[in-house]
């Protein structure tokens, strides 16, 4: 069995090597329960959940050597496109002293999210359309440190920017997974990435990192950026 170690840089993350390939794990906050059939393993008496880069774009970004993913144990996060909780659950393992506001508009997915994560007290599931941040502002207490977006919509950058302006603290981190084919099926993914990143730059986001998720998710780019202005509008 591959030897597991605590990650030297990332809070709450563990890793092992099989050959040149790095595998990632998080410490299960809901011991004995799994979310998506992931394997568990014990490390120094802790139950770890193996994080699948084929199922989670955040894990794919880590596997593709992201320099930083910015989640720490006390981060508060707004997650757009929570689905049934695959990635949300790993973030929940990491944010032991933080909160994840998990927005999802498909009733069936949010039902599964609620069932899958009922023992995880740091997740607040919100049935809402990420295009209408005003409608869920009342659930979000204060500004968040990180907005994570994975909604596969043609206007995903505009949706993300609107949410950052409303909820993200000044200097906070915006992580967006761009699915090129959801934006345009004709243009080249590279052109689409440039176009979407330009929209962020125009709105005062500093681009920190761009991570191509191939071969884990074809035609997907994770963009990590920092937002520098806050209008103070959040929580109104
Ligand atoms: C690619 S899946 C997300 C997978 C998830 N992020 C994970 O890694 O576990 C995209 C999700 O975004 C949701 N979604 C798409 N548009 C949305 C919107 N406008 N508001 C809220 N959720 C949305 C979809 O219903 C779907 O569950």
Shared domain for 125 and 195, answered yes or no, is yes
Shared domain for 31 and 136, answered yes or no, is no
Residue 232 located in a structural domain: no
Question: Are 57 and 90 spatial neighbours (Cβ–Cβ below 8 Å)?
Answer: no
Shared domain for 72 and 43, answered yes or no, is no
Shared domain for 85 and 190, answered yes or no, is yes
The minimum-distance atom of ligand 1 relative to the CA of 86 is 9
Shared domain for 73 and 15, answered yes or no, is no
Residue 183 located in a structural domain: yes
**Residues of the chain whose pLDDT is less than 70?**
1, 230-236
Cα 159 to Cα 60, 84, 125, 140, distances in angstroms: 23, 20, 18, 17
21 burial (CB, 10 Å; 0-12 / 13-18 / 19+) is exposed
pLDDT of residue 229: 76
CA 104 / ligand 1 centre spacing (Å): 6
**Tokens read off for 202:** 């125009």
Q: Domain range holding 169?
A: 57-227
pLDDT of residue 7: 96
Question: Are 93 and 31 spatial neighbours (Cβ–Cβ below 8 Å)?
Answer: no
Sign of the four-CA dihedral 186, 189, 191, 196 = positive
Query: Which residue has the least CA distance to atom 16 on ligand 1?
Result: 151
Residue 236 located in a structural domain: no
pLDDT of residue 234: 40
CA 3 / ligand 1 centre spacing (Å): 34
pLDDT tens sequence across 171-216: 999 999 999 999 999 999 999 999 999 999 999 999 999 999 999 9
Q: pTM for the whole thing?
A: 0.95
Mutational pocket test of ligand 1: of 83, 85, 87, the residue with most ligand atoms within 8 Å of the beta carbon? 83
**Domain count of the chain?**
2
pLDDT of residue 193: 97
The minimum-distance atom of ligand 1 relative to the CA of 153 is 16
Please indicate whether residue 86, judged by its CB atom, sits closer than 6 Å to ligand 1. yes
Shared domain for 42 and 131, answered yes or no, is no
């Amino acid at each position: 069995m591959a030897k597991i170690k605590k990650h030297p840089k990332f809070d709450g993350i563990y890793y092992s090597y099989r050959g040149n390939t790095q595998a990632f794990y998080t410490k299960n906050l809901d011991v004995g329960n799994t979310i998506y059939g992931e394997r568990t393993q014990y490390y120094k008496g802790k139950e770890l959940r193996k994080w699948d880069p084929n199922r989670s774009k955040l894990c794919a970004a880590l596997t593709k050597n992201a320099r930083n993913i910015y989640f720490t144990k006390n981060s508060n996060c707004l997650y757009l496109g929570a689905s049934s909780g695959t990635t949300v659950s790993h973030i929940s393992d990491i944010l032991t002293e933080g909160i994840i506001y998990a927005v999802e508009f498909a009733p069936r997915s949010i039902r599964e999210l609620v069932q899958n994560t009922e023992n995880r007290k740091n997740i607040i599931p919100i049935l809402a359309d990420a295009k209408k941040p005003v409608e869920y502002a009342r659930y979000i207490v204060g500004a968040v440190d990180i907005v994570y977006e994975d909604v596969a919509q043609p206007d995903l950058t505009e949706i993300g920017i609107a949410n950052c302006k409303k909820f993200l603290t000044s200097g906070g981190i915006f992580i967006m997974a761009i699915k090129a084919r959801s934006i345009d099926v004709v243009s080249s993914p590279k052109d689409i990435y440039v176009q979407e990143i330009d929209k962020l730059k125009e709105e005062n986001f500093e681009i920190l990192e761009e991570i191509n998720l191939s071969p884990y998710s074809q035609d997907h780019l994770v963009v990590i950026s920092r937002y520098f202005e806050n209008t103070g509008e959040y929580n109104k």
